[in-house]
Amino acid sequence: MKKIRFFKPKQKKLNRSMAGNTLLFVLMAICGVFMALPIVMIVNNALKPLDELFQFPPKIFVRNPTLENFSDLFVVMSDSWVPFSRYIMNTIIITGLGTVGHVLLASLAAYPLAKHNFPGKNILFSMVVLSMMFSWTVTQIPTYMIVSWLHINNNYLALILPAWQFGMGLYLMKQFMEQLPDSLMESARLDGATEFKIFWKIVMPNVKPAWLTLAIFQFQQMWANTGSMYLRDEQLKPLQFALQQIVGGGTARAGASAAVTFIIAAIPIIFFLVCQSNVIETMTTSGMKD
């Protein structure tokens, strides 16, 4: 640090911004601590042996960390009526297809909305915004009726198909695509690229931060879905459902449910970390001369 400062000509200015940065980081740290509390609790609970879990008054940090809770969880898992790997596979199918499909369809639809002009565009877009206003709690019954009308009840599709059409993704992608310079697409068009090629090779790489963000949201939503409304067969239910059943076991399964809570929270966090570390600064205007 010192070395760099030594060679910089404007030492004073640098110092001032350093002070500002420190202040802001302190502020950030305070907010961060607040937000991190629940996860600290979850991690510590997962590592606590039973007697510490029931200790009163409770302690934040674990004294004798064990993996007992996880081994308890495995025992509970191996007892289950449907093999646990089945739940895991269901989750992979539902969450994976739901996330990938949504990101793809929303981006595809957002591209012409952002960059093309055609009749009916504005009506379409206001419809999308309107649909976002409708909270799922309110449209639950109509959605259920539509799902049974399509005969996809008790099927993965009942969870996947509605998830593809969330308005938020389209909205987000459109906002980001609008910011791309038109000349970028123009030049590709002049070089004879088809619209799909422009979309896939030019637009999508340039809005990578946007679709990775969207993937994070969607993953989070799909992961939290227990599907208990549509899926009746035990073999079709996602992991989330099985895990919540274990938590519902109450005091007798306190250890296992502490481990479950850890897993439920950890997976979206890992997904988030992977996505975020892939977001690198895009160079929207590289190769542009205006």
Partner 1 sequence: MKKKKMSLTTKRSITGYVFILPWLAGFLIFYLRSLIMTANFSLSEITVAVGGGYDSKFVGLQNYLYAFRAHGSFKQVLTTSVGNMLIDVPLITFFSLLMAMLLNKKFKGRTLVRAIFFLPVIMNSAAITAAIDMSRQMLAGGLSASSAEMAGAASGVNVMYYVEMFSSLGLPSGVLDYIVAAVARINDIISASGVQIIIFIAALQSIPGSMYEVAKIEGATAYETFWKVTFPMVMPHIITNVVYTVVDNFANSEIVEMAYDTAFTEVNYGLSSAMSLVSTAIVCVILVIVCGFIQKRTFYYN
Instruction: Give yes or no for residue 14 binding partner 1 (CB under 8 A).
Output: no
In the complex with partner 1, the residue whose CB is nearer, 93 or 108, is: 108
Instruction: Provide the token pair at 267.
Output: 């997976």
Is residue 18 a contact residue for partner 1 (CB under 8 A)? no
For residue 272, give every residue at least 6 positions away whose Cβ sits within 8 Å of its Cβ, in sequence order, or none.
Answer: 216
Cα Dmax for the chain: 72
Contact range with partner 1 by CB under 8 A, out of 17-25, 64-72, 76-84, 85-93: 17-25
Query: In this complex, which beta carbon is closest to partner 1, that of residue 78 or of residue 251?
Result: 251
| Closest distance to partner 1 from the beta carbon of 243 (Å) | 7
What amino acid is encoded at 102 in this protein? H
Helix and strand counts by DSSP (H, E) for the chain: 15, 0
Under the binding rule (CB under 8 A), the answer on residue 122 touching partner 1 is no
Kindly tell me which residue out of 69, 176, 227, 231 binds partner 1, with binding defined by CB under 8 A.
176
Should residue 116 be labelled a site residue for partner 1 when binding is judged by CB under 8 A?
Answer: yes
State yes or no: residue 37 binds partner 1 (CB under 8 A): yes
What's the burial of 101, exposed, middle or buried (CB within 10 Å: 0-12/13-18/19+)? middle
287 touching partner 1, by CB under 8 A: no
Minimum distance, C-beta of residue 42 to partner 1, in the bound complex (Å): 8
Would you count residue 200 as binding partner 1 (CB under 8 A)?
no
- Are 99 and 215 a contacting pair, CB within 8 Å? yes
Contacting range for partner 1; rule: CB under 8 A; set: 1-9, 64-72, 82-90, 163-171: 163-171
Distances (CA, A) of 83 to 86, 94, 141, 249: 6, 17, 32, 18
Q: Are 113 and 126 in contact (CB under 8 A)?
A: no
* Helix orientation angle between 239-247 and 254-278, rounded to the nearest 10 degrees: 140
Using CB under 8 A, which of 142, 151, 205, 235 touches partner 1?
142
What residues contact 87, with CB distance under 8 A and at least 6 apart? 237, 238, 239, 241, 242
Q: Which of 64, 71, 235, 285 binds partner 1 (CB under 8 A)?
A: 285
The residue assigned the tokens 């937000």 is 35
- Nearer to partner 1 by Cβ, of 93 and 263: the residue is 263
Span of 72-80, 92-100, 162-170, 229-237 interacting with partner 1 by CB under 8 A? 162-170
Does residue 207 bind partner 1 (CB under 8 A)?
Answer: yes
Smallest gap from Cβ 129 to partner 1, in A, equals 7
Instruction: For residues 118 and 175, give the distance between their C-alpha atoms in angstroms, rounded to a whole number.
Output: 18
* 8 A C-beta contact, residue 253 and residue 76: yes
Judged by CB, which is closer to partner 1: 28, or 75? 28
Q: Does 226 contact partner 1 by CB under 8 A?
A: yes
Residues 54-113 that bind partner 1 (CB under 8 A): 54, 56-58, 60, 105-106, 108-109, 111-113
